[in-house]
């Protein structure tokens, strides 16, 4: 565990999560600013969030995995895909990055366009119970898309994971904005709430909904649909950050990658 934390690759990954979340939050919230000359549309906001997540997944995904979302990080932990320590560091980096992105936007946006900085809230008479279920469903489909499009065990062409994930986020916003402003990401909700000091009594919705939805997707994907054939000791090693896959498995993974590349052309 200590070896993992002290590695340069680990530090780069944590910084990448901070930077990617900062940029994602800045552009996502920026698309929802209430400019007097032109109020944003649902389509505009949805595309902006999707493009932002897709761009950052493409740019920094190879460094950290491109989580940018505490719900996804915790779901991968539930799915036994990352170590406990990495999950903790990623969560802190994501939350700090979200606060930084919201703070930069707050400083740049004119006061007459800033509004509430797109703080998530219950809309159109949506109850807290309805909002939780909506956020669960929205994040469930996002998490399934992330797991499937980035699964190195897949031998069939998967296209561009960054594009798939970006479209999944866009899809969620096209529906979710009417319910809650669409969170699907606790960091996205936490950042502007901190900067605007607006923590409503329903703020918990934007943590519980996404986390439960993503964790449910992880259980279904990694334990029911596509389980890993790992021993208990290997699973424990993954959680500790000491797991080292067999060389044959690594070679097979490279062969699968080559097959995917050849098939895609």
Domain-embedded: residue 244: no
pLDDT in tens, 241-260: 878 766 444 444 554 444 44
Question: In sequence order, what E strands does the chain have?
Answer: none
157 or 217, greater pLDDT = 217
CATH code for position 72: 1.20.1080.10
Residue 243 lies in a domain: no
Q: Is residue 138 part of a domain?
A: yes
pLDDT, tens digit, for every residue of 169-202? 999 999 999 999 999 999 999 999 999 999 999 9
pLDDT at site 258: 46
Q: CA 257 to CA 222: how far, in whole Å?
A: 20
pLDDT confidence tier of residue 146, bands split at 50, 70 and 90 = very high
User: What are residue 139's phi and psi, to 5 degrees?
Assistant: -75, -30
At residue 228 the predicted structure's pLDDT band, cuts being 50, 70 and 90, is confident
Give domain status of residue 254, yes or no.
Answer: no
Distance from the Cα of residue 94 to its chain's centroid = 9
pLDDT greater than 90 at residue 10: yes
Give the pLDDT score at 65: 94
Residue 209 forms part of a structural domain? yes
Has residue 235 got a pLDDT over 50?
yes
Q: How many domains does the chain have?
A: 1
Q: For the chain, what is the mean pLDDT?
A: 91
Is residue 260 one of the residues assigned to a domain?
Answer: no
| Residues 184, 85: Cα–Cα separation, whole Å | 23
- From the number of C-beta atoms within 10 Å of its C-beta (0-12, 13-18, 19+), residue 135 rates as buried
Could you read off the pLDDT of 44-90 as tens digits, one per residue? 999 999 999 999 999 999 999 999 999 999 999 999 999 999 999 99
- Cα–Cα distances (Å) from 257 to 94, 150, 166, in that order, read 29, 12, 22
- CB neighbourhood size of 158 (10 A): 14
State the pLDDT at residue 213: 98
Distances in whole angstroms, Cα of residue 265 to Cα of each of 43, 139, 257, 259: 32, 32, 13, 10
Question: How many residues are present in the chain?
Answer: 265
40 — alpha (psi -120 to 50), left (phi > 0) or beta?
beta
CB distance 85 to 7 below 8 Å? no
Q: Does residue 242 belong to any structural domain of this protein?
A: no
- Measuring CA to CA, which residue among 101, 128, 135, 112 is closest to residue 209? 135
What span, in angstroms and rounded, lies between the C-alpha atoms of 67 and 74?
A: 10
- 86 — phi, psi (to 5°)? -65, -40
User: Pick the residue with more confidence: 8 or 262?
Assistant: 8
**Mean pLDDT in residue range 112-119:** 95
Residue 251 lies in a domain: no
Closest among 157, 6, 138, 1 to 72, alpha carbons compared = 138
The 8-class DSSP code of residue 14 comes to H
- Residues spanned by the domain of 64: 1-227
Q: Which helix (H) or strand (E) holds 186?
A: helix 186-196
Tokens representing residue 19 in the block: 């930077």
CA–CA distance, 158 with 177 (Å, rounded to integer): 28
């Amino acid at each position: 565990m200590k070896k993992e934390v002290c590695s340069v690759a680990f530090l780069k990954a944590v910084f990448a999560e901070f930077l990617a979340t900062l940029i994602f939050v800045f552009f996502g919230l920026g698309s929802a600013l209430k400019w007097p000359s032109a109020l944003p549309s649902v389509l505009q906001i949805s595309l902006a969030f999707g493009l932002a997540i897709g761009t950052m997944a493409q740019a920094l995904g190879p460094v950290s995995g491109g989580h940018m979302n505490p719900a996804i990080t915790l779901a991968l932990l539930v799915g036994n895909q990352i170590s406990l320590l990495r999950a903790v560091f990623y969560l802190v980096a994501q939350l700090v990055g979200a606060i930084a992105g919201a703070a930069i936007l707050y400083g740049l946006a004119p006061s007459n366009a800033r509004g509430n900085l797109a703080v998530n809230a219950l809309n159109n008479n949506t109850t807290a119970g309805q909002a939780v279920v909506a956020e669960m469903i929205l994040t469930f489909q996002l998490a399934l898309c992330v797991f499937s499009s980035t699964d190195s065990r897949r031998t069939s062409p998967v296209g561009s994971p960054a594009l798939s994930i970006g479209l999944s986020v866009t899809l969620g916003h096209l529906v979710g904005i009417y319910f809650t402003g669409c969170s699907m990401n606790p960091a996205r909700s936490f950042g502007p709430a901190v900067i605007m000091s607006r923590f409503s009594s329903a703020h918990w919705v934007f943590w519980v909904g996404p986390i439960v939805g993503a964790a449910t997707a992880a259980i279904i994907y990694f334990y029911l649909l596509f389980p890993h054939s790992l021993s208990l000791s290997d699973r424990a090693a993954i959680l500790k950050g000491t797991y080292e896959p067999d060389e044959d498995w690594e070679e097979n993974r490279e062969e699968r990658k080559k097959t995917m590349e050849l098939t895609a052309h």
